[in-house]
Amino acid sequence: MIPMGLQGLQMRTFILETLRLYSPVYTGFIRDIGKEATLGNVTRLAGLQFHILINMVHHDPKIWGQDIHLFKPERFSEGIAKATNNNSTAYMPFGIGVHVCAGFNFTIDEAKITIAIIIQRYSFTLSLGYVHAPHPA
């Protein structure tokens, strides 16, 4: 059950973009290759492991555009499918498919509540010497 007013908070795009840039699962997934498979022009042999690095996928300019290092919550304003150029499997901060974390939506709601409480109780100012310098992938 979602608390009253939580759906009205316009923070989902902010949270989704934060999770894209700073995924809680940095290393990704490891899958065993059951039989020989070709991916692009590379053949993977049976018995090997295949690593999917989430941070690399979340910073791929072919999916997200050339502004991948910029914090742009508006890229999610029309949903995950539109943000990923109709490749919604490219967004996986909590896993993907049948392996997605069951608490993903709960976590988004918790983040909304936490951010709302922090904004209500505190005020923020940037230091005079602040320079925005995000970390590259």
Tens of pLDDT, residue by residue, the chain (137 residues): 455 555 655 788 999 999 999 888 767 778 788 888 887 888 877 888 878 889 899 999 999 999 998 999 999 999 999 999 888 889 999 888 777 888 888 998 899 899 989 989 999 898 999 888 766 55
Contacts with 36 (C-beta within 8 Å, 6 or more apart), sequence order: 43, 44, 45, 46
DSSP letter assigned to residue 30: E
* Residue 39 pLDDT: 76
* Residue 7 pLDDT: 60
Binding region for heme: 101
Helices first, then strands: H and E counts in the chain: 5, 4
Binding region: 101
* Residue 40 pLDDT: 80
